[in-house]
Structure 1
Amino acid sequence: MGSIAGQAKGAQISYKVTFPEAQAHYADIEMKISGLNQKATNLKMPVWTPGSYLIREFAKSIEGFSASYKGDALSAVKINKNTWHIGTAGVSELTVKYRVYAFEISVRTSVIDASHGFLSTSGIFLYPEGMLNQPSTINIVPYKNWDKVSTSLEQVGNDQFTVKAPNYDILFDSPIEVGNQDVFGFDVAGVKYEVCMYGGGNYDKERLKTDLTKIIEQQTAVFGENPNKRYVFIVHNYQRGGGGLEHLSSTVLGASRDAYGTERGYEGFLGLASHEHFHLWNVKRLRPIALGPFDYETENYTTNLWIAEGFTAYYQDNIVRRTNLYSVDNYLDDVVGNFNMLDNQPGAKIQSASESSFDAWIKFYRPNENSANTTISYYNKGAVIGTLLDLEIINDSDGKYSLDDVMKYMYTEYYKNRKRGYTDAEFKLGLEKFAGKKLDDFYKKYINDVDQVDYDKFLGYAGYKLNNELANSNTPSLGISSSNISGKIIVSAVARNSAAWVDGINVNDEIAAIDGTPVTDPTAILNGKNVGDKINVTVNRDGKQLVLPVTLLKSTRVKYKIEAIADANAKQLEVRKRWLRQ
């Protein structure tokens, strides 16, 4: 007999998924493995899903685990949080049954109810240790009147409810939507696209086909090819929805079902679709070296999420601008929105882009009341960095190159030629190749440190400047965020170095009165007050009333606007034209 993975190459693996209690949010899984020749088989559940950098412990949703051989029970012991150890000495095949509870509505977790089943596969399917490269077949038995399956997995024969995966990396990167979703499609340069709409909505199919086609064509032009034969947009439309998660040949989008009818709502959806589709190159194929092949049992650390996610966040709007679906003004509003978000986050002076990337596992997806003071978003800072570098490269090359050339070069060199991910140093060399100079100073200031961004330098390349509309204001601020809970004004956050921070107002304090006057409207509590005024803030804290003397400080918020320089020269106008694709 061999070891646990002794006969991995000969094993055949299949799954049957049923929904006998879909209304109670359950999927029942029957897993069969044949061709075994080993004393024991370990079955494991991933602890995270690629693209969402948080240990989610999917095994917590498993119940009713059993293992058998031809109807006879086998020894099955759970030996750690996500591993079941099954004695398989003398048996050539194995049947495992278990149930998964699925009722967490997001793009990265499974959700099942009577209306549909969304299977985020990394949280549904156990895999045999040592057999990640093995193919598998999945047969889905739909609940009641469900009549469609939407997934990028290849169909087996003419049965849409039976699909196959060549290995577990692809299975775990291919979500499955089952139900009565609205499905429509279109072709772009030989690639078949399918859009699967769950939850209804006021979307216009023909308009979406036309506009998504434009976005896909522009993105394909950046990299020179579309590596897919087929791609699926799975869209979950809720009363209020958002977010997205990229996959190798598909994506899952969260949307608001009635937002397609407004200009900004529709543009927001296009930006989200653009973001997640751009990932099919940037991160799913052109990727940091740590992100594949994946270790599904622990954190996969990289300092480069500011590239993987941040550059994608930059391109999501830049690409839509190229289609003319965004006006120049709307696009510049999106660009300056990233600047505002970064500079209004106190954590921008604490956490660098590379640190934010590395610590995503413990910080980004686990925010608390102090997170704004200590962290930034690698999406946001990365989008800012993408803006700066695009302008820098266009300017320094006299319009010959742009960030596009870096992305295409890195995709070709590392994904296609070297067939591996890139290191931090290798991506830096790629940027320098097209910038025509060393970027040590840029990396030190804006990627590995927390220097204030010199926006005017980079915008100036394109004949723009930044105007802070609040620069001359002298507005007093407590520096708190609050919530109205049952008529009480409860502090939810305190900004670093603000008046509240300095003078001891705490999160969870109830702001009861200012200078003895009861507080009823949090937006009006400083009416008539000035910077430097000393006020008495009455708070209720843990059942006790305290009066805290507070000295009001000036608000440090910025509100930037990008403005054209009146006397921009010919080179600046050329850089602007190249950047905005005018």
Structure 2
Amino acid sequence: MPTSRPPKAPAGVHYRVEPSDVLAHLFRITLTIARPAPGQEVSLPVWIPGSYLVREFSKNLQELRATQGRAAVRLTQLDKHRWQADCTAGAPLVLTYAVCAYDTSVRTAWLDASRGFFNGTSLCLRVHGQEALRHTLEIARTPATAEWSAATGLSALQVDRKGFGLYAAANYDELVDCPVEMGTFWVGRFTACGVPHRFVVAGAAPSFDGKRLLDDARKVCETAIRFWHGEGKPPFKNYLFLLNAVGDGYGGLEHRNSTALICGRRDLPRVGEARASEGYTTLLGLISHEYFHTWNVKRLRPAEFATYDYARENYTGLLWFFEGFTSYYDDLLLRRAGLIDDATYLRLITKTVNQVLQTPGRFVQTVAQASFDAWVKYYRQDENTPNATVSYYTKGSLVALCLDLALRSSGGAGGRASLDEALRMLWTRSRGGPVTEADLRAVLQDLAGRPFDAELDQWVHSTAELPLAELLQAHGVQLKAEAPQWAQRLGLRVSETHSVHIKTVLRGGLAEKAGMVPGDEWLGLEADGQGWRISKLDDVAFYAGTAATVTALVARDGRLLRLALELPGHGPQAAARKPQRSAAKTAKAAKATTTAAAPNTPDTVSLSVSDTAALQRWLG
């Protein structure tokens, strides 16, 4: 089958993308600049908005050449991602190049014989000085992709029945904010609040229940639209979900009228399965999260992101708001949509609380600092990450929880104050555009009738513990200390196969005190004169008995080590009896020693309903 001819009516900046060699994972791109500037400069972004890491996409670009008319044009590389063409004004400048697409994530590009996917930031060179012009993208069919379909959130100009052809974008920002999926995928459609939505699923097993996914996604979307606009319309005319089902994976990236998602194949709903699996509930939470981002970060966004700089890091201290608050609402909207019950919702909150409480880094770094440092810490995690930083996703969601509960207790807005109202007010005041933390503080004060500066200073800009117990109790939920698992009690994060492999040693824990380090293989222990082989952490309690100290037998760098390990208390019951500090005392202690080590036994908690009516007033 011959390669299709370029459709008519390309823009001043036009891209033709061909999946030219699927076995070599190569996309072939032709960029035509109708009116180049003398010495035209082009560059490939170093990062993609929504994923805060410099990823150096230019490392995958090869065979870059340029012509003007029939003459070759010399290209000079200026740095790692910029080139300058020795061209003149007038005649169109044509650049051709290939991009190797090996990344199966939602952030870059992938191509093989069964599927193609790309973000514009990975394939589309930016034409300096012409970013605001209309751009067109032609997705070309090749013999190897004759049976494929294509899907994107871009506006179609001249497209065949399978989605290949010419698309338009108002500018470069829109072009690179609409990913493209290609392959033999499943497609479903639904309407939410009068707006058409498409759902594309690649890699699903035959047991996949597409109807259930569409029904549940529609409920999520309608709940989100009504959250922001009541009976009004959302700020997009259509929406596209791109979901890639794989053997094992999870993740998503938000875009202006679409989202790219990855889930485990077994997490999809199955035909004949009445009860939602834990994996499917997690997938629904991911769908809810990325859809909520359509408002909160794609439009309502940090003032620092008013204009993206694709050449370097774009810093903001507000990811605790944009990612954390979205994380708070993703599961809450599932509850409001009727897709999970109260018990499931409380279990999800419990999981988040425990993730934060079991992170010693919360005593080292504020959640605002964690937001600013995302480029070098959150997205570059290593063995020490839990000791040095806190997640702006998890702690940010707990800040949102605390603000919501505090607002509901404030009596402001005639008893209607809530974080829901605060976000809607922020949307209206900013006209769905860039905001600052000062804007949030002003909205909270107007809504509650008093400033929330003290709360934000303590919860966001200090390492003080959050007053979860008091706020939850006032809304019908009791927070109780529970006996932690052995990993938490020892201060470890491990993987367990035929032995215990140590991934992280938590700061201030018993494992650190014993001298264990990440990468150690814990083979066994000696207690009361006997040696035992262990394959999981639970074996420690089984073989240690009542011993207060054992000798851990550890393999490190080809050597066998014997480490004296103190054991916590005399079993889990001792930890369960440990009195829980009040939130006020915990906050005071944390504030006094913001770099203090975590306690030897990180807190583990559970939530239970103490007042059903109060709970329903919150969740309803």
Query: TM-score, normalising length from structure 1?
Result: 0.91
Contact persistence 1:119–1:177 (CA under 8 A):
yes
Does 2:492 match 1:480? yes
Contact persistence 1:347–1:374 (CA under 8 A):
yes
In the alignment, which residue of structure 2 is the partner of 1:3? none
Contact persistence 2:69–2:91 (CA under 8 A):
no
In the alignment, which residue of structure 1 is the partner of 2:428? 412
**Which structure 2 residue ranges, 5 or more long, are not aligned?**
1-9, 271-275, 570-599
Does 2:167 match 1:163? yes
Q: Could you tell me which amino acid in structure 2 is paired with residue 542 of structure 1?
A: D
Deviation at 1:474, TM superposition (A): 10
Contact persistence 1:64–1:98 (CA under 8 A):
yes
Residues 60-88 of structure 1: per-residue CA shift (max 9 Å, x gap): 00011101112321010111000011111
1:141-156 equivalences under 5 Å are 141-143=140-142, 144=144, 145-156=146-157
1:346 counterpart (356, 360, 377): 360
2:214 counterpart (194, 209, 218): 209
Contact persistence 1:414–1:421 (CA under 8 A):
yes
Deviation at 1:292, TM superposition (A): 2.6
Deviation at 1:90, TM superposition (A): 5.2
Structure 2 CA distance for partners of 1:531 and 1:299, relative to 1, 3 Å:
farther
For residue 104 of structure 1, give the secondary structure of its aligned residue in structure 2.
coil
Structure 2 CA distance for partners of 1:146 and 1:124, relative to 1, 3 Å:
farther
**How far apart in 2 are the matches of 1:470 and 1:446?**
26
**How far apart in 1 are the matches of 2:488 and 2:401?**
33
Does 2:384 match 1:379? no
Structure 2 CA distance for partners of 1:73 and 1:50, relative to 1, 3 Å:
same
For residue 409 of structure 1, give the secondary structure of its aligned residue in structure 2.
helix
Structure 2 CA distance for partners of 1:65 and 1:531, relative to 1, 3 Å:
farther
Contact persistence 2:23–2:113 (CA under 8 A):
yes
Deviation at 1:11, TM superposition (A): 8.1
Does 2:510 match 1:511? no
Structure 2 CA distance for partners of 1:519 and 1:407, relative to 1, 3 Å:
same
Structure 2 CA distance for partners of 1:468 and 1:490, relative to 1, 3 Å:
same
In the alignment, which residue of structure 2 is the partner of 1:5? none
Structure 2 CA distance for partners of 1:312 and 1:90, relative to 1, 3 Å:
closer
For residue 329 of structure 1, give the secondary structure of its aligned residue in structure 2.
helix
**How far apart in 2 are the matches of 1:476 and 1:447?**
25
In the alignment, which residue of structure 2 is the partner of 1:502? 513
In the alignment, which residue of structure 2 is the partner of 1:449? 462
Q: Could you tell me which amino acid in structure 2 is paired with residue 251 of structure 1?
A: T
**How far apart in 2 are the matches of 1:375 and 1:235?**
31
Structure 2 CA distance for partners of 1:162 and 1:322, relative to 1, 3 Å:
same
In the alignment, which residue of structure 1 is the partner of 2:563? 548
Deviation at 1:505, TM superposition (A): 1.7
For residue 51 of structure 1, give the secondary structure of its aligned residue in structure 2.
coil
1:248 counterpart (241, 256, 266): 256
**How far apart in 1 are the matches of 2:155 and 2:483?**
55
**How far apart in 2 are the matches of 1:282 and 1:93?**
40
Worse-matched range after superposition: 451-460 or 488-497? 488-497
Worse-matched range after superposition: 45-54 or 518-527? 518-527
Contact persistence 2:118–2:179 (CA under 8 A):
yes
Worse-matched range after superposition: 65-74 or 142-151? 142-151
1:312-461 equivalences under 5 Å are 312-397=326-411, 399-416=415-432, 420-461=433-474
For residue 267 of structure 1, give the secondary structure of its aligned residue in structure 2.
helix
For residue 157 of structure 1, give the secondary structure of its aligned residue in structure 2.
strand
Residues 326-371 of structure 1: per-residue CA shift (max 9 Å, x gap): 1111111111211111101111221211011110000011110111
In the alignment, which residue of structure 1 is the partner of 2:609? 564
Contact persistence 1:43–1:129 (CA under 8 A):
yes
Contact persistence 1:110–1:120 (CA under 8 A):
yes
Contact persistence 1:185–1:193 (CA under 8 A):
yes
In the alignment, which residue of structure 2 is the partner of 1:525? 540
**How far apart in 2 are the matches of 1:333 and 1:358?**
30
**How far apart in 2 are the matches of 1:213 and 1:489?**
44
Structure 2 CA distance for partners of 1:477 and 1:310, relative to 1, 3 Å:
closer
Worse-matched range after superposition: 538-547 or 19-28? 538-547
For residue 451 of structure 2, give the secondary structure of its aligned residue in structure 1.
coil
Structure 2 CA distance for partners of 1:488 and 1:475, relative to 1, 3 Å:
closer
For residue 542 of structure 2, give the secondary structure of its aligned residue in structure 1.
coil
Q: Could you tell me which amino acid in structure 1 is paired with residue 373 of structure 2?
A: D
Worse-matched range after superposition: 272-281 or 14-23? 14-23
In the alignment, which residue of structure 2 is the partner of 1:233? 241
**How far apart in 2 are the matches of 1:132 and 1:476?**
51
In the alignment, which residue of structure 1 is the partner of 2:289? 275
**How far apart in 2 are the matches of 1:528 and 1:12?**
73
In the alignment, which residue of structure 2 is the partner of 1:25? 25
Deviation at 1:488, TM superposition (A): 5.3
Structure 2 CA distance for partners of 1:521 and 1:90, relative to 1, 3 Å:
closer
Query: TM-score, normalising length from structure 2?
Result: 0.86
Deviation at 1:138, TM superposition (A): 1.0
**How far apart in 1 are the matches of 2:480 and 2:489?**
21
In the alignment, which residue of structure 1 is the partner of 2:596? none
Deviation at 1:484, TM superposition (A): 5.3
Task: Give the length in aligned residue pairs.
Answer: 560
Worse-matched range after superposition: 263-272 or 120-129? 263-272
Contact persistence 1:287–1:308 (CA under 8 A):
yes
- RMSD of aligned residue pairs (Cα, Å): 2.3
Residues 230-267 of structure 1: per-residue CA shift (max 9 Å, x gap): 11000111122211110000001112222223432222
Deviation at 1:543, TM superposition (A): 3.2
Worse-matched range after superposition: 11-20 or 55-64? 11-20
In the alignment, which residue of structure 2 is the partner of 1:4? none
Contact persistence 1:531–1:552 (CA under 8 A):
no
**Which structure 1 residue ranges, 5 or more long, are not aligned?**
1-9
**How far apart in 1 are the matches of 2:248 and 2:350?**
25
Deviation at 1:105, TM superposition (A): 0.9
Contact persistence 1:133–1:167 (CA under 8 A):
yes
Structure 1 residue runs of 4 or more that deviate by more than 6 Å after TM superposition? 473-476
Structure 2 CA distance for partners of 1:456 and 1:479, relative to 1, 3 Å:
closer
Structure 2 CA distance for partners of 1:75 and 1:562, relative to 1, 3 Å:
same
